[in-house]
Homo-oligomer: A and B are copies of this chain.
Amino acid sequence: MKADVKTLDPALRARVEDFLTDYAHRLDDGRIDDWTGFFTQDTLYQITTRENFEAGYPIGILLCKGKGMMEDRVLALKTANVFEPHTHCHILGRPMLEALPGGEIGARSNFSVYRTMESGATELFAIGKYLDRIVLEAGEPRFKERRVILDSRCVDVLLVFPL
């Protein structure tokens, strides 16, 4: 088997890895206002199941085209919704990174997210992989595309925090 992934420059790899880690930590911290700052203006953000993704279904559980739709979602989370307080904790695997044409970076990383409710009980909330296309804007990594592909399908992801 020949490695079919083009190696990134080590300094760029480190910055992309920090970017992916920082994203997870900020969500863990409940800093929902920071969320859209990780994306480009014309981004695509999707949560779907592995089943739907492999079948080619375009929408899945959530599909945001552009940062505007994501900001609407943040507003809804902050104003309209009532849900039991909880915290997330992301454990990420090492990403496979690939230099794509046009200066983009392809990334795939496995994740597990644990949710702790007010009672203090913790459970596995979601598991799966991120499939990302990352670009540099003014030198900073941003998601041009982030697809959250869930292995687990017994998940109540409607109207809760992003992953």
Contacts and interface: CB of A to CB of B under 8 A. Distances in A.
A24 interface: yes
Interface in A1-22: 1-3, 5, 7, 10-11, 13-15, 17-22
Given A17-B94, A110-B24, A124-B114, A89 B1 contact: no
A55 interface: no
A10 to B, nearest CB: 6
Nearest to A123: B124
The count of identical subunits is 3
Given A28-B129, A154-B121, A89 B114 contact: no
Nearest to A86: B151
Please classify the interface of chain A as helix (H, G, I), strand (E, B), loop, or mixed, using the class held by over half of its residues. Answer: mixed
Contacts of A91: 91-93, 110-112, 127
| Residue among A11, A20, A129, A151 facing the most chain B CB atoms (10 A cut-off) | A151
A32 interface: no
A47 B114 CA distance: 19
A151 B21 CA distance: 18
8 contacts: A3-B15, A7-B15, A91-B112, A92-B94, A114-B152, A120-B153, A122-B127, A122-B152
